[in-house]
Amino acid sequence: MEYITRNLPTALLVCEAKEHGRILFVNKAMLDLFECTNTGDFMAYTQEKAENIIWECERERMSRLIWQQAAEDALSRLQDPYT
């Protein structure tokens, strides 16, 4: 993943698709965005949870939106598996 994402001009975070998704990968742009020197520093800062990069008062709303979008995407794949 690091090699593939090395030159992406955007911050990227990959996490588990679970309620308190554990962070699996971040690219350098994400580290720079949060002013972290390395992945270990970022993991300590976020406590390895993707939700911790979201402002605390917005976490519940954002979580609802993310899961709503995931459900809609799953439903549309069931209705038309070729999209």
pLDDT in tens, 38-81: 999 999 999 999 999 999 999 999 988 988 988 888 888 777 76
pTM: 0.74
Is residue 15 within 8 Å of residue 50, measured between CB atoms? Answer: yes
pLDDT in tens, 10-42: 999 999 988 788 999 999 999 999 999 999 999
Place of tokens 């439903």: 75
CA distance 11 to 70: 21
* Domain, as residue range, for 20: 2-79
Query: How many domains in the chain?
Result: 1
Beta strand pairing call for 23-26 and 13-15: antiparallel
What percent helix, strand, coil does the chain show, rounded to 5? 55, 10, 35
